[in-house]
Amino acid sequence: MEKRELDGLYPMLSVEEARERVLSRIRPLEPETVPITEALGRVTAEDVAAAYDIPPHANTAMDGYAVRAADTMKASPEHPARLRVIADLAAGYVSDKEVSPGTAIRIMTGAPIPPGTDAVVRFEWTRRNGDWVEITTPVSVGQEVRPAGEDVRTGETVIPRGIVLRPQEIGMLAALGRREVVVTRRPRVGILATGDELVEIDAPLAPGKIRNANTYSNAAQVKKHGGIPVLLGIARDREGEIAKKLQEGLQQGVDLLLVSGGVSVGDFDVVKKVLAAEGRIDFWRVRMKPGKPLAFGYLEFNGREVPVIGMPGNPVSVMVSFEIFARAAILTLLGARDLEPFSVQATLADGVPEKDERRHYVRVRLEDRDGDFIAHPTGDQGSGILSSMVKADGLAIIPEDWDRVEAGARVRVILLR
């Protein structure tokens, strides 16, 4: 096909348009219940509300003496308030004694505030003398007291749906008395590499061959973002073989297919033909570098449309395309609220040559210099230079409308760690 015909058929989309078209085809998967010990990194499919206050009772934030604040009003080192100590209270126990004026209870951090008291005097402000304690500093009502519900109130939604669970949420679930949590099922993501030149990791490297890297970088990315990689191996650049491997993926119940290679305009770029013949192409080509020849479409299986993201084969292109499109697709399948990768503002240490009208994603190493991030491009930015990814902390986004990229420019950097 002539270039002009292709342009008419497949207008190049902006990153935003392309992402919207991908995500508009994707719905969150079903929920499932898992023990919280297995829930790290999963996405909540329920609003988690508190069934009771945390803490459930007012308790002391310090080791010291529970008192009536009024009893300490005039206390000073020269004229301490003298109170009789009527009991000792450890965390985990409730006082059966009531504090009346002139008395106190010795109390340990976390123990419930005893009846009759309204403040705690820390040990440092006291002197013990037999059954008596001398208070050398006045305290006010509520001092060192953690009220019931200080952390979480009954009925409050503490963890909303769509949150990727981190260790702190797991701890909160335990504090809420939740042994299990409802999360979205993890998507199964089929990964197919295409190319006559590819051999597997342990196969001999015959002349003209290279090792299949993309399957493994993509599988790791899928895992990192909460999916289950389903490895479909390598297909030669033949329509029949690619179609067959994709079909195998569908048989294995994948929710999303990632294909690398075979989507540009070379003689053997047959992935688009397979999509057009077996399903549909939604769009082809995105105004980005690397990653321009991205193809998106879907295949029908059991009355369901399974989205297919066809990514260019260069090892950097495929990883960047994943970060921009497949990552958001997986998070959408997971019902996650926040699809944006974490990013920081940084200053470019060097200019970047060959800026064109596309959005460029430049691999950078970040240096924290006096609180400002300096972004150092990690050498040759060719889309086959996988070592530029290995050295990178992030991807600096160079907007479409810049015609030059000079040292000192302020850029946003998507973090890769």
Angle in degrees, CA 35, 36, 41, rounded to 5: 115
Pairing of strands 295-301, 279-284: antiparallel
If the CB atoms of residues 259 and 366 are measured against Mg ion, the closer one turns out to be: 259
Does 103 contact ligand AMP by CB under 6 A? no
Contact residues for 359 (Cβ-Cβ < 8 A; gap 6+): 14, 15, 287, 288, 289, 397, 398, 399, 400
Q: Which residues contact 45 (CB under 8 A, 6 or more apart)?
A: 28, 31, 32, 161, 182, 183, 184, 335
Asked if 260 touches ligand AMP (CB under 6 A), the answer is yes
Residue from 28, 112, 227, 315 touching ligand AMP (CB under 6 A): that is 315
Determine the Cα–Cα distance for residues 379 and 387; give it in Å rounded to an integer. 9
- Minimum CB distance to ligand AMP, residue 382 (Å): 10
Task: Give every CB contact of residue 256 below 8 A, 6+ residues apart in sequence.
Answer: 26, 187, 188, 189, 190, 227, 306, 307, 308, 309, 326, 329, 330, 333
Handedness of CA 265, 266, 272, 278 (dihedral sign): positive
CB of residue 283 to ligand AMP, shortest distance in Å: 17
Q: Which of 266, 351, 382, 399 binds ligand AMP (CB under 6 A)?
A: 266
Give min distance, CB of 212 to ligand AMP, in A.
Answer: 4
* Residue 229 interacts with ligand AMP (CB under 6 A): yes or no: no
Vertex 57: Cα angle to 54 and 62 (nearest 5): 95
Does position 261 interact with Mg ion (CB under 5 A)? The reply is yes
Single out the residue of 29, 104, 172, 213 in contact with ligand AMP (rule: CB under 6 A).
213
Choices 85-93, 121-129, 210-218, 241-249 (CB under 6 A): range interacting with ligand AMP: 210-218
Part in contact with ligand AMP (CB under 6 A); list of ranges 57-65, 172-180, 194-202, 327-335: 194-202
Output 269 or 393, the one with its CB closest to Mg ion. Answer: 269
Is 195 near Mg ion (CB under 5 A)?
yes
Nearer to Mg ion, 143 or 215 (CB): 215
Residue ranges that bind ligand AMP, judged by CB under 6 A: 193, 195, 197-198, 210, 212-214, 260-262, 264, 266, 312-315, 384
